A and B are shown apart, each in its own frame.
Chain A
Amino acid sequence: MIRHLLSGADLDAAAATQILDTAAEMATVAGREVKKLPALRGRTVVNLFYEDSTRTRISFEAAAKRLSADVINFSAKGSSVTKGESLKDTALTLQAMGADAVVVRHPASGAPHRLANWVDGSVVNAGDGTHEHPTQALLDAYTMRARLGRLAGLHVAVVGDVLHSRVARSNVLLLSTLGAKVTLVGPPTLIPVDIAQALASGIDVSYDLDAVLPNVDVVMMLRVQRERMTDSYFPSAREYARRYGLDAPRMRRLPEHAIVMHPGPMNRGMEITPEVADSPRSTIVEQVANGVSVRMAVLYLLLGGNNL
């Protein structure tokens, strides 16, 4: 097993499949009377969050606690970061407190990679800037496998703000490794020109959502990340929603078995209508539940043995 999980590219097909299989076993714990396993007793997991997050932080916290690890939550707000402490000094502080794993979210792409050189424990990337979010990709893959029975040969459309999406990048890398076919869909301004070649081979790009929908097994809607947009990438929210938003008539173009995913948080009415988000085809709530199982698997596989 690897020591850190920084990128979707850190995992080969065997390692990724092992995480998904382990997650399936971890999922059974959620249905038991005692929702706790002793595997990480006495280990310390630090959640180091420099960016706001609801589901990812809570999900990692629940995962670590279900494995009996001690959890320390750190958010930049209300810490010495507001006094100007650097990432490195914060890392050294955590190191001195004996963190076995650091789960880090940071607005700067690559911050977890730097952190991995400064601490002895395992580093898990929980989202860095517009770069990567590997555990989200793993839970998306887990959800697809649970709903559709397989990953190899699936056709997945990733729709929307690909440019700013760490979810998209990690998903493209992981899904290609696991044998799924990915098509990126969105306005030309939000799909980097060379992204298909840069990330993995066999990635298609399309600017026409309606043409892609009848041929896919999964459509993954991305959040339009207003907070990261420094330019006007599309004329208006309304025009974006008309061309790239998933509404009920568009959903009907999907094959019978196809599922609709969204990593959350959603802009209802922008990239997805409430009607679609709350339909039986939507796996949005399942994705959150699966997130805990997948993160339990990741933490167990990184920390469970003596591979530190």
Chain B
Amino acid sequence: MAYPPAAHASPPRQPSVKVILTAADVSRVVDRIAHQILEKTQGAADTVLLGIPTRGVPLARRLAARISTFEDIAVGVGVLDITLYRDDLRRHATRAVGPTQLPLGGIDGKRVVLVDDVLFSGRTVRAALDALGDVGRPASVQLAVLVDRGHRQLPIRADYVGKNIPTALAENVKVTLAETDGADEVKLYGEAGR
């Protein structure tokens, strides 16, 4: 027997979707982060960008492309797969392992900028730092994210943030990029829209 709805229950929420960044916004944000990286790293000398799959990888490539447009300097780009370093491995079915590709010359003694799409709990970045320690010894590590949605569970912060989005924990931020999903967009889904 189904229970009747409680008298004080609120009406079911409509799934709400809000566009946070349009394609043009994403492009402007990437340009700005590229400028900020150049500024903070004295012209991106000895700097490599490492994208965290999935969407950190195309973002890292775009940043490198913009940096070389602005200052005519080639920045090394790579991919850092963090699957085997996750702290929730055994809470899910086995995850497929992806490739880790370091730029030519490696990362030893370099300034590494980790690139990801959304900064949330900070656990992905923690895993990335562990993975990084196993593939080399960078001089320093920075973090660039397209969106910071808050709710950190670890003492981690980003050096470059495309946009800060205040969110409720139950909300969901979805980044799509042309390379992986066909179009650039950042959307915020409300509780019922998850």
Binding site for B on A (CB under 8 A): 1, 18, 21-22, 25-26, 28, 32-34, 36-39, 300-302, 304-307
Contact = CB atoms under 8 A, between A and B. Distances in A.
Contacts of A33: 134-136
7 contacts: A25-B97, A26-B97, A32-B134, A33-B134, A38-B85, A305-B94, A307-B93
Among B89, B95, B99, B130, residue most surrounded by chain A Cβ atoms (within 10 Å): B89
B134 A18 contact: no
Contact of B97 (A1, A22, A34, A38): A22
Contact of A32 (B89, B130, B135): B135
Contacts of A21: 96-97
Given A38-B84, A38-B85, A38-B130, A18 B93 contact: no
Interface string B129-146: 010011110000000000
Nearest to A32: B135
Interface in B78-111: 81, 84-85, 89-100
Given A22-B97, A307-B93, A39 B84 contact: yes
B96 to A, nearest CB: 7
A103 B42 CA distance: 54
A22 B97 CA distance: 6
Nearest to A18: B96
A22 B96 contact: yes
A306 B100 CA distance: 24
Contacts of B93: 1, 305-307
A306 B84 contact: no
Contacts of B136: 33
Contacts of B95: 304-305
Given A33-B136, A38-B130, A306 B99 contact: no
A34 B91 CA distance: 26
A298 to B, nearest CB: 11
* Interface residues of B, dominant DSSP: loop
Given A25-B98, A33-B136, A305-B93, 7 more contacts: A25-B97, A25-B100, A28-B100, A34-B133, A38-B130, A300-B84, A307-B94
Contacts of A38: 84-85, 130
A299 B130 CA distance: 21
A305 B98 contact: no
Nearest to A26: B97
Contacts of B91: 306
B135 to A, nearest CB: 6
Nearest to B94: A305
Contacts of A304: 84, 89-90, 94-95
A302 B95 CA distance: 11
B134 A36 contact: yes
Contacts of B135: 32-34
Contacts of B133: 34
Given A1-B94, A26-B97, A300-B84, A305 B89 contact: yes
A170 B134 CA distance: 35
Interface string B21-40: 00000000000000000000
A36 B100 CA distance: 14
B109 to A, nearest CB: 14
Contacts of A34: 133-135
Nearest to A35: B134
Interface string B117-136: 00000000000001001111
A94 B136 CA distance: 38
B95 to A, nearest CB: 7
A38 B93 CA distance: 17
B134 A300 contact: no
A163 to B, nearest CB: 36
Contact of A300 (B81, B85, B97): B97
Nearest to A25: B97
Nearest to B87: A38
A26 B100 CA distance: 10
A26 B185 CA distance: 34
A307 B94 CA distance: 7
B100 A301 contact: no
A304 B97 CA distance: 11
A38 B95 CA distance: 14
Contacts of A307: 93-94
Contacts of A302: 94
B102 to A, nearest CB: 10
Nearest to A306: B90
B134 A305 contact: no
Nearest to B127: A38
A4 to B, nearest CB: 14
B84 to A, nearest CB: 4
